[in-house]
Amino acid sequence: MEILDGKKISNDIKSEIKAEVDKMKERGEKVPHLAAVIVGSDGASLTYVGSKVRSCERVGFESTLVQMPSTTSEQELLKKIEELNQDDNIDGFIVQLPLPDQIDTQKVIMAVHPDKDVDGFHPMNFGKMALDMSTFIPATPFGILELLERYKVDTKGKHTVVIGRSHIVGRPMSILMGRKGWPGNSTVTLTHSQTKNITQITSQADIIISALGVPNFLKAEMVKDDAVVIDVGITRVPDESRPRGYYLTGDVDFENVSKKASYITPVPGGVGPMTIAMLLKNTLLARERHRSRS
């Protein structure tokens, strides 16, 4: 069994991006600028946004954090998004999800200009991804592809089972693993909460990508020998004995599944850090495209 070490690979990617940014600085060019909008004060969201902003600093990007109160109206958020769309200094931006109930997430996703949509959530970018066109690939699926590529995991002709069909992870992942090319060329089964006999399906899989957010969902008896197991899930489990009052766990019973798997991602230290690295990669791409347009 080999660990797919997202922490190490994400650090490699950040070093590569930093080297690019250093070259931009030497040439006297503007460096990439990422803005992140957060509405409300959800603990997990603040943590995610904080680490995105810190990672920007680490690679030499400019970053802007826009914090808005949980009472922000949809109109106020849409106005802020329009300002960011118009701001020539900002190459790309994200709006951290989930949003408070009074805000329609779909309207927000539609409002972000596709050229600045480094999350790859806008229908135009999602459509391009589905059509194998060059675009911003959502950071978590992009990070999983990068991990598979850097560890040279064979995906051609393999049966990939994706658990979860969310628009940000499961659905795009299923499309990407089925595309022509590598990583891809898999035969994909997309499963969800209405899937019957899920154990029967996962136990036939060569590659399992689990993105549902249920701790210890994927057990050893659901996995065949030598399967590749990618655990996207991140759940905070309350635990007063820990300094933060919780610990993080994935969807996979790591202790037992790792004994059968050929490759497996840990949680934390697997897909999570890759997501941030690929957001930075998308921002670098946004800067390059922005420069070529102006």
Q: For residues 209 and 161, is the Cβ–Cβ distance under 8 A?
A: yes
Stretch that binds ligand NAP, among 9-17, 62-70, 105-113, 226-234 (CB under 6 A): 226-234
Strand order in the sheet with 187-191: 2-3, 263-264, 228-231, 207-210, 159-163, 187-191
Instruction: Return phi, psi of residue 150, to 5°.
Output: -70, -25
Closest CB 267 distance from ligand NAP, rounded Å: 8
Place of tokens 């899920």: 198
Stretch that binds ligand NAP, among 28-36, 67-75, 100-108, 231-239 (CB under 6 A): 231-239
> What does the alpha-carbon distance between residue 63 and residue 193 come to, in Å, rounded to a whole number?
38
Annotated active-site positions, please? 52, 96, 119
Residue 115 or 268 having the CB closest to ligand NAP: 268
Place of tokens 């990407």: 176
> What does the alpha-carbon distance between residue 17 and residue 153 come to, in Å, rounded to a whole number?
23
Closest CB 264 distance from ligand NAP, rounded Å: 14
Closest CB 26 distance from ligand NAP, rounded Å: 32
State the CB neighbour count (10 A cutoff) for residue 240: 6
Query: Do the bridges between strand 235-238 and strand 246-249 make them parallel or antiparallel, or are there none, so unpaired?
Result: antiparallel
**Core vs surface per residue 283-293: b (16+ CB within 10 A) or e:** bbbbbebbeee
Span 108-147, contacts to ligand NAP by CB under 6 A? 140
Residue 80 or 261 having the CB closest to ligand NAP: 261
Q: Look up residue 192 and give its amino acid.
A: H
Closest CB 157 distance from ligand NAP, rounded Å: 25
Residue 166 or 185 having the CB closest to ligand NAP: 166
Tokens of 73: 């109206």
* Size, binding site for ligand NAP by CB under 6 A: 25
Q: Mark residues 151-190: x for contact with ligand NAP by CB under 6 A, - for none.
A: ------------xxxx-xxx--------------------
Stretch that binds ligand NAP, among 31-39, 113-121, 256-264, 270-278 (CB under 6 A): 270-278
Closest among 162, 129, 130 to 232, alpha carbons compared: 162
> What does the alpha-carbon distance between residue 208 and residue 205 come to, in Å, rounded to a whole number?
6
Q: Does 197 bind ligand NAP (CB under 6 A)?
A: no
- Locate all alpha helices (DSSP H) within 119-189, ordered by sequence: 123-130, 139-150, 170-178
Residue 160 or 191 having the CB closest to ligand NAP: 191
Closest CB 194 distance from ligand NAP, rounded Å: 5
Span 200-219, contacts to ligand NAP by CB under 6 A? 211-214
- Using CB under 6 A, list all residues that contact ligand NAP: 140, 163-166, 168-170, 191-195, 198, 211-214, 232-235, 271-272, 275
